Amino acid sequence: MGADLEPGVRLKEIRSKCLTVTHEFVVARCRDELGGHRGGGFVADALTSFLAGGKFLRPVFAYIGWTCGGAESDAALRAAGSLELLHCFALVQDDVMDGSSLRRGKPALHRRMAQWHREEGLSGSPEKFGESAAVLLADLFLVWSERMLRECGLPAAALSRGWPRYDDLRAELAVGQFSDLVNDAGRAPGWDSVLDVLRRKSGNYTVRRPLEFGAALAGCGEQQLAGLSAYGRLVGEAFQFRDDLLGVFGDPRVTGKPVGEDLRDRKATSVVVLAAELADPAQARELRALTRLDAVEPADVRRWQALIAATGAPGELERMIGRRSADALEAVERAGLPDPARAALAELASSCTERAR
Amino acid sequence: MGADLEPGVRLKEIRSKCLTVTHEFVVARCRDELGGHRGGGFVADALTSFLAGGKFLRPVFAYIGWTCGGAESDAALRAAGSLELLHCFALVQDDVMDGSSLRRGKPALHRRMAQWHREEGLSGSPEKFGESAAVLLADLFLVWSERMLRECGLPAAALSRGWPRYDDLRAELAVGQFSDLVNDAGRAPGWDSVLDVLRRKSGNYTVRRPLEFGAALAGCGEQQLAGLSAYGRLVGEAFQFRDDLLGVFGDPRVTGKPVGEDLRDRKATSVVVLAAELADPAQARELRALTRLDAVEPADVRRWQALIAATGAPGELERMIGRRSADALEAVERAGLPDPARAALAELASSCTERAR
């Protein structure tokens, strides 16, 4: 897979190959496990189209990590692809827990299953059915992820270097979601606690762990691993800060999510918590009043956005994003990585931190 | 582990050793993954006490399967124990989906988490929090099960014989739950479809697959595997018929569940569906009327139980249980299994099909 390609083109190619191998795996699993079951065909369509909508960011990072020590390999593509199935699991379950009706601009999986329930004329509550079905289908993604890795075709020695990283990633994901749940339900969590969850859940999960996982599979040495870890931690945090900014200020036509979704959901994200810490007494009172509204109207969202902007939190986060991006590139320079990997990481740092969706 | 012990005593010993190794694993995981998180201590207590309440039926079957070809082994105990973690995952998630408030006579895990939410004075709905938290903790059980098996200490050759069985078991479990959901929501499923779900979900899952899994790990030959499969299918079905009878007629002081729980939940279990098929027109009308009640009072449950009894369904199921038990013992006799395993399987066949809880 052309290591001599222009970085943006090469990344697109990696994404597309990861999608292909993961899609093949899911199609085979649906055929073997769901074939002949009522609703099996509908579910197979829903799962494969859910998969196809993904950015495959984690597999791409894992594969770039792999190329720091290993040659181009279909087995490594499959190992990397397993992380996307883990991500599908997390998204489907998150949407159920958050009651999100949209994912990537389309009905969330639990909504699709509820709609199927209606069309089939089944009895009971379509919503309840949709939620239960989506949780079960998320379980399938979780189980398939591990199986895809186990059966990827890499030698046992490579796999045994990868499992501890995979286990950490998976555990941090579930425990991070749990802490998120507790934080969202806690009254006004502090910045430190938000940063901790963000590091464990998204920062590590999206960039650092996938990179380390791929590099460990390839048997990279200490110096390279340390460089990738530093890059991953910094870009991961910047990625999440951007995500949180988009959750409050993002353009719904671009993000595919309702405007100000994180505000409506009272999520304790970085920008929300930082705004609360930077607010003057009058702003703080108004922010608290908005948090306590029973129903949030469009005008409330606009007022809320303006207030958060006025505290200076978005500007501060932009500065933090910029600083992290620069430090990440420096860490990569010092790590002695192959040129194509370095170029790809630089490209990924921009696309993760400057994106609009 | 004394193969010369009286079968009942030996089975108790196996259960207790499986519990010990599984408990150790869960304690280590809670320490590494939940340590330092808000609620981590409470969750660790909740998960270990949930585990300790289990019958460990699946690990015991798996270990008996193992002893058909392998020597006593702590590694095999850990491999067997991994099935109990899978079972914990299924129970916790089932209770959320069914809205069951009790499990083994104690508050279900989602209720315990809701109670913790209240005691901590967190904001938002305690019920919603409890359900989301329980689904996430079920995920941990699912992930830990696979990890416990991978790290059990058996040689790679043994494990590679076990993985396909483990994967089948896990997939059948999730897909079986999904079919269950569809059946419960379908209008009056037929006996064939109920029998299919029952075979895939409980029949295979409780007895047959665990036995095959243990025997495969031990490298048993075709004849033994065939005998264990036949036994497992028959005892598994009988086990589930008994479970369904207890779900309608069980004594709540013994089962730890509300009286007539499956009726209140409109579950399409074997006894309910068979009663519908055997009912005369007048009985069928009355059964349908009960199914459509908005609220089920204790008097309705008693009337419902009497109606089902009057169709002859319970007697028919008792005959089916008896026939399956007898056929299972015959299959085991022909399979050329070691004496202690044969004795243990005979004992397990009675305890699974004659139990009151």
Dump pLDDT digits (tens) for A331-352.
Answer: 999 998 999 999 999 999 998 8
Q: Which residues of A touch B97 (CB under 8 A)?
A: 132, 135
Average pLDDT of B267-282?
A: 91
Give the pTM.
0.88
Q: Do A124 and B185 touch (CB under 8 A)?
A: yes
Average pLDDT of A279-287?
A: 94
Closest partner CB to B93 (pick from A135, A156, A186)? A135
How many beta-carbon pairs below 8 A join chains A and B?
118
pLDDT attached to residue A255: 76
Does residue B357 register a pLDDT over 80? no
What are B164-193's pLDDT values in tens digits?
999 999 988 888 888 878 877 766 566 676
* B196 band by pLDDT with thresholds 50, 70 and 90: low
Q: Do B37 and A179 touch (CB under 8 A)?
A: yes
Measured CA to CA in angstroms, residue A14 lies from A5, A61, A77, A352, B77 at distances of 11, 10, 8, 16, 42
Q: How many CB atoms lie within 10 A of CB A254?
A: 12
What are B9-68's pLDDT values in tens digits?
999 999 999 999 999 999 999 999 988 888 899 999 999 999 999 999 999 999 999 999
Q: Which residues of B touch A181 (CB under 8 A)?
A: 129, 132-133, 136
Q: Which residues of B touch A32 (CB under 8 A)?
A: 171
B117 and B129 in contact (C-beta within 8 Å)? yes
Mean pLDDT of chain B: 90
Q: Do A182 and B43 touch (CB under 8 A)?
A: no
* A202 band by pLDDT with thresholds 50, 70 and 90: low
pLDDT attached to residue B171: 87
Distance from the Cα of B209 to chain A's closest Cα (Å) equals: 15
Interface test mutation site (partner B, options A181, A267, A291, max chain B beta carbons within 10 A): A181
* A194 band by pLDDT with thresholds 50, 70 and 90: low
When mean pLDDT is compared across A91-105, A221-235, A247-261, the lowest value belongs to: A247-261
d(CA A285, CA A288): 5
When mean pLDDT is compared across A156-170, B81-95, B255-269, the lowest value belongs to: B255-269
Q: Which residues of B touch A142 (CB under 8 A)?
A: 139, 142-143
Instruction: Give, for B278, the enclosing helix (H) or strand (E).
Output: helix B270-278
Closest partner CB to B129 (pick from A32, A37, A181)? A181
Q: What is the percent of chain A with per-residue pLDDT over 70, rounded to a whole number?
A: 94
Mean pLDDT of chain A: 90
When mean pLDDT is compared across B182-196, B238-252, B267-281, B339-353, the lowest value belongs to: B182-196
Does residue A266 register a pLDDT over 90? no
B321 and B252 in contact (C-beta within 8 Å)? no
Closest partner CB to B171 (pick from A123, A143, A184)? A143
B39 and A182 in contact (C-beta within 8 Å)? yes
Q: Do B137 and A178 touch (CB under 8 A)?
A: yes
* B202 band by pLDDT with thresholds 50, 70 and 90: low
Average pLDDT of A259-288?
A: 89
The three state secondary structure string of chain A is: CCCCCCHHHHHHHHHHHHHHHHHHHHHHHHHHHHCCCCCHHHHHHHHHHHHHCCCCHHHHHHHHHHHCCCCCCHHHHHHHHHHHHHHHHHHHHHHHHHCCCEECCEECHHHHHHHHHHHCCCCCCHHHHHHHHHHHHHHHHHHHHHHHHHCCCCCHHHHHHHHHHHHHHHHHHHHHHHHHHHHHHCCCCCHHHHHHHHHHHHHHHHHHHHHHHHHHHCCCCHHHHHHHHHHHHHHHHHHHHHHHHHHHHCCHHHHCCCCCHHHHCCCCCHHHHHHHHHCCHHHHHHHHHHHCCCCCCHHHHHHHHHHHHHHCHHHHHHHHHHHHHHHHHHHHHCCCCCHHHHHHHHHHHHHHHCCCC
Q: Do A129 and B181 touch (CB under 8 A)?
A: yes
Q: Which residues of B touch A175 (CB under 8 A)?
A: 33-34, 37, 140
Q: Do A136 and B181 touch (CB under 8 A)?
A: yes
Average pLDDT of A88-97?
A: 94
pLDDT attached to residue B198: 64
Closest partner CB to B34 (pick from A129, A167, A175)? A175
Q: Do A187 and B123 touch (CB under 8 A)?
A: yes
Distance from the Cα of A195 to chain B's closest Cα (Å) equals: 13
Q: Which residues of A touch B93 (CB under 8 A)?
A: 135-136, 139
Does residue A317 register a pLDDT over 70? yes
Average pLDDT of B190-206?
A: 69
Does residue B1 register a pLDDT over 60? no
Closest partner CB to A167 (pick from B142, B147, B179)? B147
SS3 B186: coil
Q: Which residues of B touch A165 (CB under 8 A)?
A: none
Q: Which residues of A touch B136 (CB under 8 A)?
A: 93, 174, 177-178, 181
d(CA A266, CA A276): 13
Closest partner CB to A136 (pick from B32, B129, B178)? B178
Find which of A291-305, B90-104, B156-170 is predicted with most confidence, using mean pLDDT.
Answer: B156-170
Does residue A302 register a pLDDT over 90? yes
Q: Do B184 and A93 touch (CB under 8 A)?
A: no
* B260 band by pLDDT with thresholds 50, 70 and 90: confident
Question: How many alpha carbons lie under 13 Å from residue B352 in its C-beta half-sphere?
Answer: 33
A243 vs B176: which has the higher pLDDT: A243
Does residue A254 register a pLDDT over 80? no
Q: Do A140 and B174 touch (CB under 8 A)?
A: yes
Distance from the Cα of A106 to chain B's closest Cα (Å) equals: 23
d(CA B217, CA B229): 15
Q: Do B186 and A147 touch (CB under 8 A)?
A: no
Closest partner CB to A171 (pick from B135, B143, B170)? B143
Q: Do A132 and B156 touch (CB under 8 A)?
A: no
Close Cβ partners of B75 (under 8 Å, ≥ 6 residues apart): B152, B153, B154
